[in-house]
A and B are shown apart, each in its own frame.
Chain A
């Protein structure tokens, strides 16, 4: 393995790859710093460009954007009390009070140190956990895969939004949309027009679902208040503060690694769990929420700690844990690589190159964060009323360039309007997208399993692994319903 890693190191350490990763990190940090622009959007907007790149640089670009945007979300959270990404919401609790005290630089620096630490630990975990998990995954067949995906979908539906029922409805809509086009045996379904026989591409559906509703929200609700950014002020994180926060940073990184590796949990839940744990165990617990650097360290290390580990289920099992890794799954497939256990057999070199590239990107994240800290306060001031139409035009050009077809542009706009309706009816978009991406695989494995068992559905609960995933899915449903009932009572 060490030899393979060294060969991969040589292959990745080129100027071209460094420039791509640096551009990705920098772009991600800027996009993450703009309120309303999410890491998902950054990754999806970049997806059309990766069509014209080599496989590994294209995945590295997407990973760099993901990492950059996760850190970038903390910039506007600290400076203007508006988290650029959902996972940075927790950073606002202590970051903004610190900025109000004229210590925005200190808060940004602590966020950067913690993000890089969490990210690095997460990448190391990915390297050592993904391959053994993939070996284990080689032993599982269609029924086990089907149950695993059911578990992943249930988890995503349970933790996205505030209602499990709405999450499941969203997942059903995504699964249904995924059936448009040709099925595994060559039958055409829902081919209302000739174009629809080829199905719906992932890129226009996901960009439409996430980017366009943001524009429609601004147009319809005119929610464009501008915020005054804080001055950077006190920049230094003292050695004592760093020592005090180290325990929370390491604990947060591990929480991020574990929660990121479970499909559907994601960085937001990890950040809040880590913050809660840090507050519980800290000597300065009374200062949490008033500008405590330890609070920033806990939340930022946890949300960036998810970045590498969310790739574990994707690479080892072929199951995306969240929307961003769902997009990455699409990128892998575009380049002829299918994530899952076979990836480690067929594309081992590429996997190791990806691992090494991800480690490099942790270092680049630190450099990019340091170099552009002051600049971000200006970027965060771009009014949403100007930004959202610009994003729309970027989407239109990007999507058209993928297939040179107006059909994809129409799908993009239609999905945008559909996504807006989903927002109006409080139906979360994440389960829809994960279901849309997993749908064909889910159906294929189900139909294969039923064909193997000659139509007997009991094959879906015939082995200990299927039982494990089925029990986990039921467990998630029960726990989520219990929590929601508790909240409803309160």
Chain B
């Protein structure tokens, strides 16, 4: 894992330094006094990040120093579950998050939250307690919706589909 991590960190800061900063951090034509330009700080951090990434990469090549940079936290709880299963579960979660954002525009915040809660309960494996899960999935978002909209006057999105249906 050490090499992959070192490579990814170097690549991340490299992309920021060579791609994002030139495009998204414009230098103003006039800088008052001796004030450093706006790209000075992000550049300095990106260079430091790249150096650290390269250092991690270098350390991962030597077994002696590998232990300093390689705590291996995640592997401790991974157990024997095959990697494709883990990736699939992760993929489903990210998809659920993305669909939630889309569903808010269509179904509104309340319904989308209920659906997301059901999906997450299925993904955590708690869905086997169907009745408890269903009750929580309906009651919790509803209570929060009522609390925030009445007590704090929050205007949650109602969703274009529900608006079209006149709900």
Contact = CB atoms under 8 A, between A and B. Distances in A.
A219 B93 contact: yes
A275 B118 CA distance: 44
Interface residues of B, number: 80
A450 B36 contact: yes
Contacts of A390: 117, 136, 140
A216 B86 CA distance: 11
Contacts of A410: 101
Interface in A438-490: 443, 446-447, 450-451, 453-455, 481, 484-485, 487-488
Interface string B64-80: 11011111111001110
Contacts of B144: 393-394, 397
Query: How big is the A interface, by class?
Result: 35 or more
Contacts of A166: 56, 69, 71
Contacts of B125: 222, 224, 385
Interface in B136-167: 136, 140-141, 144-145, 148, 152, 154-157
B24 A191 contact: yes
B76 to A, nearest CB: 10
B33 to A, nearest CB: 6
B38 A488 contact: no
Contacts of A222: 81, 89, 124-125
Contacts of A190: 20, 24-25, 42
A390 B136 CA distance: 8
Nearest to B48: A172
Given A187-B38, A189-B24, A455-B36, A216 B93 contact: yes
Contacts of A488: 64-65, 67-68
A221 B78 contact: yes
A2 to B, nearest CB: 39
Contacts of B38: 183, 185, 187, 189
A399 B137 CA distance: 19
A162 B73 CA distance: 10
Contact of B52 (A168, A176, A420): A168
Nearest to A169: B52
A420 B86 CA distance: 13
Interface in B105-136: 109, 113, 116-117, 120-121, 123-126, 129, 132-133, 136
Interface in B25-79: 25-26, 28, 31-36, 38-42, 45-46, 48-49, 52-53, 55-56, 59, 64-65, 67-74, 77-79
A459 B34 CA distance: 14
A443 B100 CA distance: 36
B8 interface: yes
Contacts of A454: 34
B74 to A, nearest CB: 5
A189 B39 CA distance: 8
23 contacts: A163-B68, A163-B71, A187-B28, A215-B120, A218-B124, A219-B120, A221-B78, A221-B86, A385-B124, A385-B126, A389-B121, A389-B124, A389-B126, A392-B120, A393-B113, A393-B140, A397-B144, A426-B71, A426-B73, A450-B34, A455-B36, A487-B68, A488-B65
Given A397-B144, A451-B36, 17 more contacts: A172-B48, A190-B24, A215-B124, A216-B93, A220-B90, A221-B79, A222-B89, A224-B125, A386-B133, A389-B124, A389-B126, A393-B117, A400-B156, A401-B148, A413-B97, A420-B90, A426-B70
